[in-house]
Amino acid sequence: MRRHTRRIYNLCYRFTGNAHEAEDLTQEVFLRVYRTLGSYRALHGGFATWVTSVTRNLLIDHYRRSRRDRQTDSLEESLLVIEQKESSAPRPDQFAARGELSEQVQRALQKLSPELREAVVLRDLQGLEYKEIQEVLQVPEGTVKSRINRGRIELARLLEQMGVRPSSA
């Protein structure tokens, strides 16, 4: 389970945008995995794909429960902690730029519909293959590709509205 913790946490964080909520959801995922481990069948896909499916189902449940009382709090403190963990002593200006970009991407992700957000997060942030995403989302591969494409286009549009331009490097 330890090898999946970071990936599951990142998926929960990218979906919720809240570090504390992501930690709680990550714990819930592993409790659910422990309780339902008997239902895992290797012939239906890899363990990582199954754990991702469990995570997705929990995130959908969470989204439905919290839909009414959602807030868009500032993520600066949470992103600062995550950036410090992922970085290897960047210069202060690089650190600030990364933090600002990460915050802008997170804000833009939160504006996507849940269907587009989960497809983009699974593909571009979690690195899953189309087939794995198809198994997780339980939709045809064409739908997966369409959601990823539409999500990327919408994300790019939102980031451009926020003044984020692609780097020339």
- Which residues, in sequence order, are CB contacts of 139 under 8 Å at separation 6+? 147
Q: CB of 56 within 8 A of CB of 126?
A: no
pLDDT digits (tens, 9 = 90+) for 92-141: 555 555 556 677 788 888 888 889 988 988 888 888 889 888 888 889 99
Domain holding 15, by residue range, is 1-71
Q: Is residue 51 part of a domain?
A: yes
Q: Is residue 90 part of a domain?
A: no
**Cα–Cα dist 20/24, whole Å:** 6
- Residue bearing tokens 């690089």: 94
The predicted model scores a pTM of 0.53
The tally of domains found in the chain comes to: 1
**Cα–Cα dist 140/134, whole Å:** 6
**Cα–Cα dist 93/115, whole Å:** 35
Question: Mind giving me the DSSP string for 9-42?
Answer: HHHHHHHH--HHHHHHHHHHHHHHHHHHGGG--G
pLDDT digits (tens, 9 = 90+) for 30-62: 888 888 887 777 766 788 888 888 888 888 877
Q: Is residue 40 part of a domain?
A: yes
**Cα–Cα dist 115/55, whole Å:** 14
- Tell me the average pLDDT across 143-147: 93
Residue 63's CATH number: 1.10.1740.10
Residue 147 pLDDT level (bands cut at 50, 70, 90): very high
